[in-house]
């Protein structure tokens, strides 16, 4: 099980800030959130179109467009 923490408007939308998922990668954790919360994927897309972005941290490592492939790296 991996602990996923969300903050700000995403936390408000989901109703809480901490989730546990049986996933192997950060990308799977994001997908698990989208599967468990109807309309969340569309909400992310709509926010992106409106210039709103979210930070993804894996430990203390920030995932950016330059290292996006790390979303598919297994958690240690």
Q: Determine how many CB atoms are found less than 10 A away from the CB of residue 26.
A: 21
Of residues 76 and 24, more confidence is placed in: 24
Distance (Å, whole) CA 54 – CA 62? 11
H helix intervals, the chain? 8-14, 26-36, 40-49
Above 90 in pLDDT, residue 75? Answer: no
Give Rg (Cα) of the chain. 12
Q: Quick one: pLDDT at residue 31?
A: 97
Summarize pLDDT for 7-52 with one digit per residue, the tens: 999 999 999 999 999 999 999 999 999 999 999 999 999 988 888 8
pTM of the model as a whole: 0.87
Summarize pLDDT for 25-34 with one digit per residue, the tens: 999 999 999 9
């Amino acid at each position: 099980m991996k602990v996923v923490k969300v903050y700000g408007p995403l936390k408000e939308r989901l109703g809480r800030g901490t989730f546990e998922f049986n996933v192997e990668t950060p990308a799977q954790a994001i997908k698990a959130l989208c599967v468990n919360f109807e309309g969340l994927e569309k909400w992310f897309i709509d926010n992106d179109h409106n210039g709103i972005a979210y930070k993804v941290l894996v430990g203390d490592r920030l995932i950016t467009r330059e290292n996006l492939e790390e979303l598919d790296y297994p958690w240690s």
